[in-house]
């Protein structure tokens, strides 16, 4: 739809007036605020300022204490605190007290020195499901609760596989009750 010529010119004039009215205040303000000049630190001034501060090595000497006491025992290796299970190629570690059931036929799977390559427990368990079984236990049982452990140990009497206690998928020791704990 075409507008009549007087209407077109009126629209044009209105637009022109609006554009000039909007541009008028912009001309009174600077187009861009200029940055304020700042002092620049010289390298020499920076070195002098850094020399005034305390060095980290001096601070460490003042605040730390030298180690006194005896060195940790050499037998802190995980191998010294664990049982080594071996499948003929690879071995893994389980903590002392984690084996719930060990049939006589599988006693050769428990070795005293590492042999073969080390592998982590989940991989070792997947490789050896024919002779190895993981049994999930409760935290109370791991802490030595004999009442909750008794039914589990009865279930394992006919088991042909080596059974390791696990808590949330990882091997865990089952503590024995303290001597005289159940006696009045």
Angle, vertex CA 154, rays to CA 150 and CA 156, nearest 5 = 120
Specify if 1 maps to a domain. no
Residue range of the domain that includes 90: 82-171
Specify if 103 maps to a domain. yes
Specify if 184 maps to a domain. no
Specify if 124 maps to a domain. yes
pLDDT tens by residue, 90-140: 999 999 999 999 999 999 999 999 999 999 999 999 999 999 999 999 998
Specify if 165 maps to a domain. yes
Q: What string of H, E and C letters represents the secondary structure of 84-112?
A: EEECCCEEEEEECCCEEECCHHHHHHEEC
Name the domain count of the chain. Answer: 1
Separation of alpha carbons 147 and 80, rounded Å: 30
Specify if 183 maps to a domain. no
pTM of the model: 0.57
For residue 181, pLDDT beyond 70: no
| pLDDT, greater one: 153 or 74 | 153
Specify if 129 maps to a domain. yes
Specify if 25 maps to a domain. no
């Amino acid at each position: 739809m075409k507008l009549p010529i007087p209407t077109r010119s009126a629209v044009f004039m209105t637009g022109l007036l609006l554009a000039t009215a909007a541009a008028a205040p912009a001309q009174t303000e600077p187009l861009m605020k200029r940055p304020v000049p700042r002092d620049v630190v010289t390298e020499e001034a920076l070195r002098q300022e850094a020399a005034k501060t305390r060095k980290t090595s001096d601070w460490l000497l003042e605040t730390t204490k030298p180690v006194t006491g005896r060195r940790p025992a050499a037998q802190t290796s995980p191998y010294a605190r664990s049982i080594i299970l071996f499948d003929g190629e690879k071995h893994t570690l389980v903590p002392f007290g984690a084996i719930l059931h060990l049939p006589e036929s599988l006693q050769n799977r428990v070795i005293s020195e590492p042999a073969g390559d080390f592998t982590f427990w989940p991989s070792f368990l997947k490789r050896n499901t024919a002779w190895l079984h993981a049994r999930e236990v409760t935290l109370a049982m791991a802490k030595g609760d004999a009442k909750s452990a008794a039914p589990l140990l009865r279930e394992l009497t006919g088991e042909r596989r080596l059974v390791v206690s696990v808590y949330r998928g990882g091997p865990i020791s089952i503590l024995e009750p303290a001597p005289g704990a159940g006696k009045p």
